[in-house]
Amino acid sequence: MGLGKKTVEELDVKGKRVLVRCDFNVPMKEGVITNDNRIVAALPTIKKLIENGGKVILCSHLGKPKNGPEEKFSLAPVAVRLSELLGQNVVFANDDNVVGEQAKAAVAAMNDGDVVLLQNTRFRKEETKNLPEFSEELASLADCYVNDAFGSAHRAHCSTAGVTDYIKDTAVGYLMEKEIRYLGNAVNDPVRPFTAILGGAKVADKLNVISNLLEKVDTLIIGGGMAYTFLAAKGYEVGSSLVDNEKIDYCKEMMKKAEEKGVKLLLPVDTAVAASFPDPIDAPIDVKMVAADAMPAGMMGLDIGPETEKLFADAVKASKTVVWNGPMGVFENPTLAAGTLAVAKAMAESDATTVIGGGDSAAAVIQLGFADKMTHISTGGGASLEYLEGKELPGIACIQNA
* Residues tagged active-site: 38, 202, 359, 382
Tell whether residue 358 is among the known ligand binding residues: yes
Tell whether residue 361 is among the known ligand binding residues: yes
Tell whether residue 155 is among the known ligand binding residues: yes
Under 8 Å between Cβ of 266 and 311? yes
Tell whether residue 61 is among the known ligand binding residues: yes
- 116: number of Cβ within 10 Å: 25
Length of the chain: 402
Tell whether residue 262 is among the known ligand binding residues: no
Is the alpha carbon torsion for 150, 155, 160, 164 positive or negative? positive
CA distance 69 to 116: 19
Side chain identity, residue 399:
I
Backbone φ, ψ for residue 295 (5° rounding): -75, 130
Closest by CA position to 49, among listed 23, 17, 93: 17
Tell whether residue 331 is among the known ligand binding residues: no
Tell whether residue 81 is among the known ligand binding residues: no
Tell whether residue 25 is among the known ligand binding residues: yes
3-state SS of the chain is CCCCECEHHHCCCCCCEEEEECCCCCCEECCEECCCHHHHHHHHHHHHHHHCCCEEEEECCCCCCCCCCCHHHCCHHHHHHHHHHHCCCEEEECCCCCCCHHHHHHHHCCCCCCEEEECCHHHCCHHHHCCHHHHHHHHCCCCEEEECCHHHCCCCCCCCCHHHHCCCEEEECHHHHHHHHHHHHHHHCCCCCEEEEECCCCCHHHHHHHHHHHCCCCEEEECCCCHHHHHHHCCCCCCCCCCCHHHHHHHHHHHHHHHHHCCEEECCCEEEEECCCCCCCCCCCCCEEEECCCCCCCCEEEEECHHHHHHHHHHHHCCCEEEEECCCCCCCCHHHCHHHHHHHHHHHCCCCEEEECCHHHHHHHHHCCCHHHCCEECCCCHHHHHHHCCCCCHHHHCCCEC
Tell whether residue 360 is among the known ligand binding residues: yes
Tell whether residue 143 is among the known ligand binding residues: no
Tell whether residue 64 is among the known ligand binding residues: yes
Tell whether residue 24 is among the known ligand binding residues: yes
Tell whether residue 122 is among the known ligand binding residues: yes
193 prior amide bond cis, ω within 30: yes
Q: Which residues are annotated as a binding site for ATP?
A: 206, 301, 332, 358-361
Q: Which residues are annotated as a binding site?
A: 23-25, 38, 61-64, 122, 155, 206, 301, 332, 358-361
Q: Which residues are annotated as a binding site for substrate?
A: 23-25, 38, 61-64, 122, 155
